[in-house]
Amino acid sequence: MQPLTPSRETEKGATMSTRTVLHDADMSRALTRIAHEILESNKGPDSLVILGIPTRGVTLARRIAGLVSRFGGAEVPAGSLDVTMYRDDLHRNPTRSPRPTEIPAGGIDGRTVVLVDDVLFSGRSIRAALDALQDIGRPAAVRLAILVDRGHRELPIRPDFVGKNLPSARDERVNVRVLEVDGVDEVAIGS
């Protein structure tokens, strides 16, 4: 069992304890495994496009695309897919800032698109991503790669590739930090 990190104060003044469940080496192994599983499932790198869901999903998608390219021997394009305007909770959080959608040259028509996100919880972000994809093109297939699947689905969405299944309570928070954004690679869970 991982030790708890020191308690820290939240914005409301309550204390919060967290424990790290994936360290940098664990994340690296999980992403490597996901890359191999994508290659095996697709029978190679041909016709793959890997799209990350902002924010940390984009970083993870680029890492996975790099690994798939290296292991598969051919360049696999990566991009990002903003789902902000497709979300069904904008009325509760109207201040979300849209991020850029970057679709690689050649588009997604007739290709296998692998959506990448950091944490799968209710499934609503993925539903929004599927809606956003419809407006961009018609892929041959869509697959889902998730670093952490924490359960509590509200929609019938299941990932194809999972780095770690992490059972959690609904009120717990799972925080993914990546080196490129946060200066460290880790996954922590806290209440």
Strands 48-52 and 18-22 turn out to be: unpaired
* % of the chain with per-residue pLDDT over 90: 82
Per-residue pLDDT tens over the stretch 54-92: 999 999 999 999 999 999 999 999 999 999 999 887 667
How does pLDDT run across 9-34, given as a tens digit for each residue?
Answer: 444 444 468 999 999 999 999 999 99
pLDDT at 5: 44
What are the structural domains, with CATH classification, of the chain?
Answer: 8-88+98-190 (3.40.50.2020)
Helices marked H in the chain: 24-42, 56-72, 124-136, 179-182
Q: Which 3 state secondary structure label does DSSP give 80?
A: strand
The per-residue pLDDT for 98 is 81
CA distance 37 to 71: 11
Q: How far is it, in rounded angstroms, from Cα 119 to Cα 57? A: 9
